[in-house]
Structure formats: C-alpha cells, structure tokens
C-alpha cells in the first residue's frame, strides 16, 4: 500500500491497519500535518517506511498481537519500549514486545522510519520449533539491537531484502517459494540477534538427529521441489526440531536444509534448460530463483557452465527434434 495524506484521522487509521492501534498527537501546526506510508502486509510480518511532515507523538496500549522493530533511517527517533527509553538511529533498532506499550516521539525535522511487525504466533512458534519445546508467554526481547555488529548487519540485510521484494506485490512477493523461507529467516535471525532469555539455549547444540529422519526431509524435497519449503515445514515432516534438522542435514549430507532445496531446484532448472523448456529467465523464475545474476553464479558453480550454454544446447536439440534430425547424446 502507498498512502500520503494530510488528514490525521486517515493517517492514524492507515497506520493502525498495518501496525497497531495508537493515539497520534501533533506538536506542530495541524494545518501543516502530513504523513506518508509505503508498506506491505505479508501475513506473518508487515514491513514499511513511515514519515511525518512535522513533530508528532505516537502512543499505543499493550501491543498484544505482535512484536515490532523500528529503525530511524534518518535522524533520531526518541522512543519508549515498555519501561525502557531508546533512541533509535540508522544503527540502533528499537524493539517492542506484545506485553508492553510503545511511545514514539520524533519527525520535528522530517525523516523516515522503517517498521517491521512480526505476528506474535509466528515468532513464538518459530522459537518453539528451534528449541523443540513449548514457549509460554511473550519472549522478553531486549529493547535495542546494535545493527553495527556482525549479527546485526546480517539481520538488517535480510530485512532490507524482504522489504525490497515486498515493494512489488505483483512480483516475487506473490511467490511463496521466495517469501516463505525469507520470512522464516528474518524471524529466526531476529531470535539469534536480539538478546532474550532463550538466547543461550539457541546457541547450545541440538539433540542429535539420525539419518532416517534426515532422509524423510530429503525425500520430500526431491519429490516436490516446487513446494514452498521452509526449515520448519521440513522439520515437521522429519519429526524433529528445526535446529535438529539443520544440524542433522549438515552432518549427514553436508548442506543445510535450504541449501538442499536450492540444489534440487538447480538440477530441475538444468533439466528444463537442457530440454529447451523456456529461456534462462523463465526457468529461473519457475524454480524460485529471484536474482538472475546469483542464479547464474550458483548454476556455474554447480555444473561448470553458465545456464545460457545449457539453454543454447537445449534449444538446438529441440530444433533438430522438430525437423526430424537425430539427437546425439
């Protein structure tokens, strides 16, 4: 959605639709008020960039239904997360929990705010899957994330990728094979980046997973590589935790679950190119590869030749077949 308005009531309603109900207080001439919001709701998460044309205060009750991460892309945003006062900048994210209130004060000099909302069930279910035990109650995430640490930079890069893809709802944002694993990675990345009481448990080795469980996950991928697999859905088939599947897959097959999905899809893409079933771009998109440059690099690493060469061979073979000329193998 794209919204620009000078009506405070509409601004409040549109932001509440994407994020949380709130009270909006203008600290400047109401006649000069403006708000712009570019956002997308992907179900488990919502992401957007918000700006106001003038100083405002936003206050919520308990968020209840979700977690929120805000990053001031320009300037400084003074904010309160529960009982903690935080100054959000381009290098410090403010984090809000469902069992706390939020207060945001800023935009006196304009500027943009990136906001990421994660549904409560999505985060807590993923944590339970990683731990292989129930999670009861809101996760006590620390009120800030340092985006200049290695973990912080990697997580912020994932979030930016999600936001970029989501900006075009008619494009790859509509492909669950792309967005499902990316959303899962963003939520899992937050759990591995932010401080919280479960952080040490996530860092401990998972219970060893045997080869039989891993084989069930591998067979599912090989049988249905087009399915929008995530680590959690493969772990459910294997009957183990997501973290256990990751460790078991690496131990028994030398790759992570999502790397296996990528490798199987690469082989199917090669089959299609060799058979002349579409251009490189068409085949890459068919198998869920979102970036042609990265697809080409991965393809060359896997098969020792660029996809264009395989496609050219396939096209010539198809042409010979259509004219009755014999094919050589």
328 within some domain = no
- 115 lies in the same domain as 230: no
304 within some domain = yes
* Residue 323 confidence class, pLDDT cut points 50, 70, 90: very low
- 145 lies in the same domain as 188: yes
Please state the pTM of the whole predicted model: 0.77
Task: Please give the structure tokens belonging to residue 206.
Answer: 């998972």
Place of tokens 């990728």: 161
- 150 lies in the same domain as 252: no
Last residue of a domain, one of 176, 193, 210: 193
- 27 lies in the same domain as 172: yes
The number of distinct structural domains making up the chain is 2
| 327 vs 132 pLDDT, higher one | 132
Last residue of a domain, one of 193, 224, 252: 193
Q: Which secondary structure element, helix H or strand E, spans residue 204, and what is its range?
A: none
Q: Which secondary structure element, helix H or strand E, spans residue 309, and what is its range?
A: helix 307-322
Structure confidence by residue, pLDDT tens digits, 71-94: 998 888 999 988 899 999 999 999
Mean pLDDT, residues 183-206 taken together = 91
pLDDT of residue 204: 81
| 328 vs 179 pLDDT, higher one | 179
Mean pLDDT, residues 176-187 taken together = 87
E-strand spans in the chain? 2-5, 23-26, 35-41, 45-52, 56-59, 66-72, 77-81, 84-88, 92-96, 102-106, 112-119, 144-146
118 within some domain = yes
Mean pLDDT, residues 264-268 taken together = 95
326 within some domain = no
Residue 253's CATH number:
1.10.10.60
The rounded distance, in Å, linking the Cα atoms of 198 and 292 is: 38
* Residue 179 confidence class, pLDDT cut points 50, 70, 90: confident
Least confident of 58-67, 123-132, 267-276, 317-326: 317-326
The rounded distance, in Å, linking the Cα atoms of 250 and 137 is: 32
Q: Residue length, the chain?
A: 329
Checking if the pLDDT of 325 tops 50, the result is no
- 45 lies in the same domain as 120: yes
Domain housing 129: 2-193
- 55 lies in the same domain as 174: yes
For 254: left if phi > 0, alpha if psi spans -120 to 50, otherwise beta; the answer is left
63 within some domain = yes
- 182 lies in the same domain as 284: no
162 within some domain = yes
- 180 lies in the same domain as 209: no
- 14 lies in the same domain as 89: yes
- 162 lies in the same domain as 275: no
327 within some domain = no
- 57 lies in the same domain as 157: yes
The rounded distance, in Å, linking the Cα atoms of 187 and 173 is: 17
Checking if the pLDDT of 220 tops 80, the result is yes
- 183 lies in the same domain as 203: no
325 within some domain = no
The rounded distance, in Å, linking the Cα atoms of 265 and 24 is: 48
Last residue of a domain, one of 175, 193, 211: 193
Residue 146's CATH number:
2.60.120.10
Least confident of 182-186, 244-248, 263-267, 288-292: 288-292
23-26 and 144-146: which strand pairing? unpaired
Checking if the pLDDT of 164 tops 80, the result is no
């Amino acid at each position: 959605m794209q919204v620009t308005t000078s009506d405070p009531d509409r601004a409040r309603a549109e932001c509440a639709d994407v994020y949380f109900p709130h009270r909006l207080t203008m600290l400047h001439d109401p006649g000069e008020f403006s708000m712009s919001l570019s956002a997308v709701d992907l179900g488990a998460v919502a992401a957007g960039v918000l700006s106001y044309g003038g100083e405002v205060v936003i206050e919520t009750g308990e968020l209840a239904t979700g977690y929120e991460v805000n990053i001031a892309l320009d300037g400084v945003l003074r904010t309160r997360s529960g009982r903690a006062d935080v100054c959000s900048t381009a290098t410090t994210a403010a984090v809000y929990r469902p069992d706390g209130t939020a207060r945001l004060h800023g935009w006196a000099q304009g500027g943009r705010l990136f906001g990421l909302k994660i549904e409560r069930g999505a985060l807590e279910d993923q944590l339970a899957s990683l731990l292989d035990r129930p999670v009861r109650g809101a996760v006590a995430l620390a009120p800030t994330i340092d985006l200049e640490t290695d973990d912080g930079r990697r997580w912020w890069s994932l979030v930016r990728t999600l936001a970029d893809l989501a900006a075009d709802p008619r494009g790859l944002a509509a492909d669950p094979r792309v967005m499902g694993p990316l959303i899962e990675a963003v939520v899992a990345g937050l759990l591995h980046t932010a401080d919280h009481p479960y952080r040490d448990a996530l860092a401990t080795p998972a219970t060893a997973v045997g080869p039989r469980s891993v084989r069930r996950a591998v067979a599912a991928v090989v049988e249905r590589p087009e399915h929008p697999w995530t680590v959690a859905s493969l772990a459910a088939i294997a009957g183990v935790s997501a973290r256990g599947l990751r460790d078991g897959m690496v131990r028994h097959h030398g790759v992570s679950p999502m790397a296996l999905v990528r490798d199987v899809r690469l082989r199917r893409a090669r089959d299609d190119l060799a058979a002349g079933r579409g251009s490189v771009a068409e085949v890459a998109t068919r198998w869920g590869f979102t970036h042609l440059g990265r697809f080409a690099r991965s393809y060359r690493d896997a098969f020792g030749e660029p996809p264009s060469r395989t496609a050219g061979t396939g096209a010539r073979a198809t042409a010979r077949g259509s004219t009755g000329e014999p094919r050589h193998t």
